[in-house]
Structure 1
């Protein structure tokens, strides 16, 4: 591992093996005969862990920990399974992941069935025939990826019209930054030949015409999507939220993020948490452009209320490189249809607007997560942070650069200088690595996407995320991509940017906890921290790194309670027998569960 990272270990000093004044002498639960990876540099390994009142009471050798066994202590032999801290979502969209769960699965292999436009159309028809979906007055699909379609083009309104001209259809690109509507949906949204491109967005047109072809980019797409969400009922919102948490738990996440919320969804999540504690913790970040009315108590908080809190704000400066809407300083290797050879993508807003929003966050003490994929948008973000810092002073704000997909080495240095945490999306190397090299960026730029190595060279921490529903919240695929950087074709993309298995684990646990200002309570298996634990089928530190993605999450534990086990494939949502409403939501979720692939 890069030697310079050692200086950061002081951030995460271990507590003593035993709590000095435990509230009672015996543990509620003891797990032993385990390979415990604590992610605590002072005590990196252990054999057993004791839990009391949802917190870690002791960590150490089995003989010592078993002395805490009382008459009512539950003792569990893990039979050699590996225990790690619960995964912490550095950036994702848990409620939108619920939308993915209840939409037609348009993902390409290995996550879905779509390989061409014909199979996409078939997936939409199949979804529409499911009884619970027949009652809907729309068809919605998620996850198509033009880079993985045989035709390597976006479907258009005319392709979707072959599925239905009577029912509105919306399909969402895997990037989440582009969508396609059929003619009925365009009619309902009043998008015509006279409709103008909104600032920071594009309505694609039929060739040699002003008529929309159904493909909507960035703000044009979001402008159409927001009305859909505002029409969703409270019960449907709850279903989406719970379905998202359900999927996160299956992949070992004990803390999820809702990384771009509207005020209404913040209130919905808060109200759901008031009814009963959430199965996992959820920290939300509201879109700073869409309103700040929830950025007060009881929503904005440093602590969770029944598992929910609002952590700060989100700012979006550009689109996605795989969708060719990220804002670059150099042209795309192959521009999108209808664009010139000099096409570099485009910004969402002006420098003045970016500086206004970054300054607003600093002035009010809000933690800011900023989506910036292209290096031109990263330049814009750096300029805005420098300007606001000059005005409001340098403080520990833990601002985050989300994705930073094409960050140059000088920009990574600027992150360090400005105390900005880069949160990378290493799964790009698998899902779109070949596409980036062959169509988006070319070899040189593609080699250095998600530049984790440059961060480590500078003694920085970074976090790794999945950006669900852009990809499934598959913790082990995130892990594997961070370590291996293997593309779909088997190419190693950027061998100098690869990191060790331990570094990758820290990026999904203790460093993600630090990003959320929660490193004192989460992210490692230490005395006094919450008992958020995951049991894995294999040890990620000793297994062949090329097999990391095949490791299974066997059990997920939140606050000392089991919320998911692979043995029963059952989560808190699916076992909520005490609530009729919850049963109804679980029933709906399980009816569409066949559309969600599960590992092994």
Structure 2
């Protein structure tokens, strides 16, 4: 097999034994050598491909927490506050007032099938001053067609009166159905048990849609454009149909990322979930890795649904919402840990972290397991004492760094206040304590862009330019590691990817500028392309 050599202006390997180089040699899809050209020639005949000679090569980015919904959600109406770009590269402007929201919905109602609900997403009511927006906003758009608006966090939805009536929401006694002082439903449904009343009524299964070939290809396309070579779909139904679609789609030569789907634990009994995941694991291959389990405990801080310890939320007296009783989470941890599988656990609030640490402590005491790498996801408000416990338990963290930019201003003024905003997304503390960690975007909650995520963890700037918690800022090299090798560690895949070392897959991000150059903001570095298994990818 031919040895292909890629010269570059600089190569950052993320291998501490050999941090930089000028030449990357690839054979059989793997890194053969990284070093001087003369040393590489010792392996045999080479072909030099100098198309990246003026570029900077780094390990392909690993997006350790996003959702394949990024490839499906753009079929619906975007109502987000911030401007975004869809997988095709089309720019969508944000909507900043109620009238703009109504106008965009009315535009999509033209020609819409009246038998189906109009679905929108990205809505973020916390950015709107005054009373939180409710069903009245949507009733003014249509009193005949059900309207379902997913919030930006994907943990809350707002629906109009037609949808409330057709799904018989008022008669339900489920935590998460928001009512006014008179007991009337205002149209806001918080977390999965409440939202599933709407999903079930209209046969909406967004996550199943996201597991179909077209959505998976769109997801990969959006990822590749941002330098991502391994992407995690961290809440997959793992139905038989979804597994078939993922196997077929990822095996295609044109599929240009590696995909890691996680079983949605709350959608299965533990026994059935374990059996289904084992069945899927038998069908994995180099571009499709099964084996991780996702548990979603609480909600999101900006929706007031994350579970916070005292003193709670700054402006409102809310406790947050559990997606299941805490005992259910405890039982799931016990079962899947004993089964030898890796857990990825959504924990936004510090109360959710506390509950999960207790469950993991008990599981590890009963069934000690070295190198398990169970990972706490988001951990936006994890405390110092909790970080110490996480280290003692051998946990990994995946930190939602983008949150600082998109909601930092809101947390400072409305949800958390000054003190807790200093510890928001404590990447530097994780680094000081030696806890393996990655950083992530949670797309489509925030856009896919690992370099922007690295910028957030390094600069810690909010959308208005305020800096939150300078003591938790990490250096550029650490930020680069967090979107490559660190994220790979949280997936138990660091033996195969995350750094450019002999024997690992030759997955590479090709950059226009050097991410370690202090003169170039990380968020402004252009992505020229990627290599997957040493082969340049194409749109």
- TM-score between the two structures when normalised by the length of structure 2: 0.90
8 Å Cα contact 2:397-2:438 kept in structure 1: yes
State the distance in 2 between where 1:305 and 1:502 align. 31
Matched, 1:300 2:300: no
Query: Aligned runs of 1:308-457 on 2, under 5 Å?
Result: 308-336=288-316, 341=317, 343-457=318-432
Query: Aligned runs of 1:36-435 on 2, under 5 Å?
Result: 36-62=11-37, 64-65=39-40, 73=47, 75-93=49-67, 95-111=68-84, 112-128=93-109, 137-149=116-128, 151=129, 153-191=131-169, 193-196=170-173, 198=174, 201-205=175-179, 207-218=180-191, 219-225=193-199, 228-230=203-205, 237-264=212-239, 266-273=242-249, 276=252, 278-291=255-268, 292-293=272-273, 295-300=276-281, 304-305=284-285, 307-336=287-316, 341=317, 343-435=318-410
State the distance in 2 between where 1:160 and 1:62 align. 64
**Number of equivalenced pairs:** 523
Query: Aligned runs of 1:484-499 on 2, under 5 Å?
Result: 484-499=459-474
The answer for the alignment partner of 1:540 in structure 2 is 515
How much has 1:512 moved relative to structure 2? 1.3
State the distance in 2 between where 1:224 and 1:384 align. 31
The answer for the alignment partner of 1:549 in structure 2 is 523
8 Å Cα contact 1:273-1:306 kept in structure 2: no
8 Å Cα contact 1:194-1:210 kept in structure 2: no
When residues 116 and 231 of structure 1 are mapped into structure 2, their CA distance, relative to the original with a 3 A threshold, is: closer
8 Å Cα contact 2:298-2:306 kept in structure 1: yes
State the distance in 2 between where 1:311 and 1:235 align. 19
The answer for the alignment partner of 1:520 in structure 2 is 495
Gaps of 5+ in 2: 85-92
When residues 563 and 393 of structure 1 are mapped into structure 2, their CA distance, relative to the original with a 3 A threshold, is: same
How much has 1:126 moved relative to structure 2? 3.9
State the distance in 2 between where 1:68 and 1:453 align. 41
When residues 299 and 501 of structure 1 are mapped into structure 2, their CA distance, relative to the original with a 3 A threshold, is: same
How much has 1:267 moved relative to structure 2? 2.3
State the distance in 2 between where 1:38 and 1:136 align. 55
How much has 1:507 moved relative to structure 2? 0.9
How much has 1:68 moved relative to structure 2? 7.3
Residue by residue, what CA displacement relative to the aligned partner does 1:121-164 show, whole Å, maximum 9, x if unpaired?
Answer: 223334455x8x77993322221212333x35543222122333
How much has 1:66 moved relative to structure 2? 7.2
How much has 1:251 moved relative to structure 2? 1.2
When residues 452 and 310 of structure 1 are mapped into structure 2, their CA distance, relative to the original with a 3 A threshold, is: same
State the distance in 2 between where 1:315 and 1:413 align. 22
How much has 1:395 moved relative to structure 2? 2.5
8 Å Cα contact 1:250-1:553 kept in structure 2: yes
Larger mean Cα displacement after TM superposition, 173-182 or 269-278: 269-278
Residue by residue, what CA displacement relative to the aligned partner does 1:408-447 show, whole Å, maximum 9, x if unpaired?
Answer: 0000000000011111001111111111111111100111
State the distance in 2 between where 1:235 and 1:509 align. 25
How much has 1:364 moved relative to structure 2? 0.7
8 Å Cα contact 1:555-1:562 kept in structure 2: yes
8 Å Cα contact 1:331-1:344 kept in structure 2: no
Root mean square deviation of aligned Cα: 2.6
When residues 135 and 250 of structure 1 are mapped into structure 2, their CA distance, relative to the original with a 3 A threshold, is: farther
State the distance in 2 between where 1:407 and 1:308 align. 31
How much has 1:311 moved relative to structure 2? 1.9
8 Å Cα contact 1:269-1:308 kept in structure 2: no
State the distance in 2 between where 1:76 and 1:332 align. 57
Residue by residue, what CA displacement relative to the aligned partner does 1:495-552 show, whole Å, maximum 9, x if unpaired?
Answer: 000011111111111111111111111011112211111111211101436x211112
How much has 1:348 moved relative to structure 2? 3.2
How much has 1:346 moved relative to structure 2? 3.6
8 Å Cα contact 1:82-1:539 kept in structure 2: yes
State the distance in 2 between where 1:134 and 1:65 align. 62
State the distance in 2 between where 1:235 and 1:453 align. 34
State the distance in 2 between where 1:126 and 1:283 align. 37
The answer for the alignment partner of 1:563 in structure 2 is 537
8 Å Cα contact 2:8-2:57 kept in structure 1: no
8 Å Cα contact 2:250-2:287 kept in structure 1: no
How much has 1:257 moved relative to structure 2? 0.9
8 Å Cα contact 2:63-2:450 kept in structure 1: no
Q: Secondary structure at the match of 1:419?
A: coil
- TM-score between the two structures when normalised by the length of structure 1: 0.81
8 Å Cα contact 2:277-2:291 kept in structure 1: no
How much has 1:380 moved relative to structure 2? 0.4
When residues 136 and 521 of structure 1 are mapped into structure 2, their CA distance, relative to the original with a 3 A threshold, is: farther
Q: Secondary structure at the match of 1:299?
A: helix
How much has 1:261 moved relative to structure 2? 1.7
How much has 1:377 moved relative to structure 2? 1.0
When residues 449 and 349 of structure 1 are mapped into structure 2, their CA distance, relative to the original with a 3 A threshold, is: same
State the distance in 2 between where 1:497 and 1:152 align. 32
When residues 532 and 236 of structure 1 are mapped into structure 2, their CA distance, relative to the original with a 3 A threshold, is: closer
State the distance in 2 between where 1:469 and 1:232 align. 12
